[in-house]
Structure 1
Amino acid sequence: MTLHDEDLTAARHAVEHLFGQSVLRFQAYENLMKAVISEHRLSGHMFDIEDIRADRVVKTRQKTMGTLMSEMIGSFIVPEGKEIQCEDREDAPSVALNFQLSFTADDFARIEAEHRDLVVLRNSLVHHFLEQHDLRSVEGCLVAQQTLTSALDRVTRAQNELRCWANDMVTARKVLADYILSPDLDEFFVHGRVPWHILTVTKALHEAARELTSGDWAPVEAAVSWIEERYPEEQPKDYGCKTWRQVIHESKHFDLQVRKADGRLKAWYRPRDRSVTHR
């Protein structure tokens, strides 16, 4: 065997090694995508949720990398302001989980371009690599090595980024699980007692009181307008109440008082823990 033949053989071996590394890394990246897609969104009747989850995992495993990418971008990874809300169900006890990561428009555009390009890169690598590279010469093998090294670097960066997002989702799920198992939720589901002290609506009422207090008391009417502007999703009906005055009364976090002013009755409220009101 000539020196040239030895150099070519070594060059080809290097290409094969890099090719194998790249394909394996793309498969690991794809498997991580499948794990994220199958777990980030789940909804259904409470008693069927485990079967629904198992079915979702099976169906996700059968999807191509391109389909997975289309689901990940816009469902798990979304631009700010485009978050998807879970649909409410009233026909039976149900569970709805939806984990999303939102990014600024610029960051989202970068992430989308980088990760979608990986689908094209992977398909080119698997289906057209031998067409695009001449492995009959040392020079051709060196060019192929450069292509593979670049591909390996790109998919490794994307996999590390996706792994960080997946870890964030796992952390969020643990926090949610701890919350669901907390005594507050047990009191709510078993005894029907609303855990007012941990609810956003109570926080919003405290904030409104802090902003609008005249003396010790804040006008309920003004507080409602303040909350509707900053917390539009908060509504009394979500807590089994017909009015904001009922929310204030039922929470037992506030004193409520009705006074006559300008010829009409007006409601005022104040936090029972005054330290929460004052800055």
Structure 2
Amino acid sequence: MQEPDPAVPERQRDVQRTLGRCLQRLQHYEFVIKRLAAHHDIAGPASELQAIHARRVEGFGTKTLGQVVREVSSSYLTSSTADESEDDLESPPGYNPTKIWFRSRCYTSLSREECKQARQDLEELVRLRNELVHHFLERFNVWTIEGCDAADVYLDESYATIDGHYQTLRDWTDGMDAARTSLSQFLLSPEGQRAFLHSLQPQPASIDWAHTKIESLLLAAEETLNEHGWTLLAKAIDAMRRIDPEETPKRYGCSSWRQVIHESRLFEIRKTRTPDREEVQVWYRTIDFDRASWNRKKLANQSAPSRIIT
């Protein structure tokens, strides 16, 4: 029987130290990315924001690294397309237009190629973490000098990869913290308080959105084009332009259809990504079903076509 190499135990301890260094860095990374996920997007009634924030922190604290990475990939990283560069008007869960709502959102806007690479990098880190935690001893025979040497090389490379991801993550969180600090300082300043109080005052030239033609067209499009209760805004816009090309957001002082939907407070918005995750799709649906039915009946009695043909 071959005698074990007396140098193996010491080399095993070297591997253990290097492995521990990698796992410790991964734990640092996981702590920071959970903080980013919990803090970068807070929305809700002003009186409930503190409780909402506490629930987000607790919720992300129990998620796996893979789950948190998927959340950050979809909500924090965005492509710098024209659609995503607009103000985010998506209605958050539980949105109630009768209450004072507040939303603070930070995100990183990248080119499409950069965004795709950043998401791939995040997925790579999750795979590396799983490899180190679950399959390291399957891959390396640390009961031999050769196996320990190979493991050490792999662990040194892994640490460099993890640390690179960690530094990128810290750049993201530093940017988020700087933005939140600037917002806080502005809201506490006399200018910020005046701007906030002004936003609560009724506007003198307010629009009765429920009785506008543009809202009637949106309702007609919703009736015809909705998929499981939600209507793809891009399809609705194409159809409405064929019916009345002059009925545009600019007529109502809005820069986009999304702003029309947001300002009217008659609809809610959500965003999804295409299966290839390259494009964001905007959907809308009516908040008040009874009001929608009433407007559809009103539209049916008008001379303009009430149904939109695709």
Question: What TM-score do the two structures reach when normalised by structure 2?
Answer: 0.60
Map residues 56-205 of structure 1 onto 2, 5 A cutoff.
Answer: 56-81=56-81, 83=84, 84-87=88-91, 89-190=96-197
Q: 1:150 to 1:101 in 2, by over 3 A?
A: same
- For structure 1, the residue ranges without an aligned partner over 5 or more in a row are 195-223, 239-279
Q: Work out the CA distance in 1 between the residues paired with 2:189 and 2:145.
A: 65
Matching residue of 2:18: 18
Question: What is the total number of aligned residue pairs between the two structures?
Answer: 203
Structure 1 position 89, deviation (Å): 4.5
Structure 1 position 187, deviation (Å): 2.2
SS of aligned partner of 1:5: coil
Does the alignment pair 1:44 with 2:44? yes
Contact map agreement 1:86 1:96 (CA 8 A) in 2? no
Q: 1:161 to 1:6 in 2, by over 3 A?
A: same
Q: Work out the CA distance in 2 between the residues paired with 1:4 and 1:145.
A: 20
Q: Work out the CA distance in 1 between the residues paired with 2:38 and 2:8.
A: 45
Q: Work out the CA distance in 2 between the residues paired with 1:131 and 1:193.
A: 62
Structure 1 position 192, deviation (Å): 6.3
Amino acid paired to 1:24: Q
Q: 1:192 to 1:36 in 2, by over 3 A?
A: closer
RMSD: 2.6
- For structure 2, the residue ranges without an aligned partner over 5 or more in a row are 202-249, 264-310
1:2-23 C-alpha deviation (Å, 9 max, x unpaired): x983432222111001000011
Contact map agreement 1:33 1:68 (CA 8 A) in 2? yes
1:55-94 C-alpha deviation (Å, 9 max, x unpaired): 1100010000010010010211122226354437522011
Amino acid paired to 2:80: E
Q: 1:9 to 1:184 in 2, by over 3 A?
A: same
Contact map agreement 2:128 2:158 (CA 8 A) in 1? yes
Q: 1:160 to 1:85 in 2, by over 3 A?
A: farther
Amino acid paired to 1:169: M
Q: Work out the CA distance in 2 between the residues paired with 1:144 and 1:92.
A: 58
Q: Work out the CA distance in 1 between the residues paired with 2:115 and 2:173.
A: 17
Amino acid paired to 2:112: A
Structure 1 position 97, deviation (Å): 1.4
Q: Work out the CA distance in 1 between the residues paired with 2:173 and 2:41.
A: 13
Contact map agreement 1:43 1:95 (CA 8 A) in 2? yes
Amino acid paired to 1:70: R
Amino acid paired to 2:100: P
1:93-143 C-alpha deviation (Å, 9 max, x unpaired): 111111110101111121111111111110111011111110111011011
Q: 1:92 to 1:186 in 2, by over 3 A?
A: same
Amino acid paired to 2:42: L
Structure 1 position 191, deviation (Å): 6.1
Contact map agreement 2:89 2:259 (CA 8 A) in 1? no
Greater Rg by CA: 1
Question: What TM-score do the two structures reach when normalised by structure 1?
Answer: 0.66
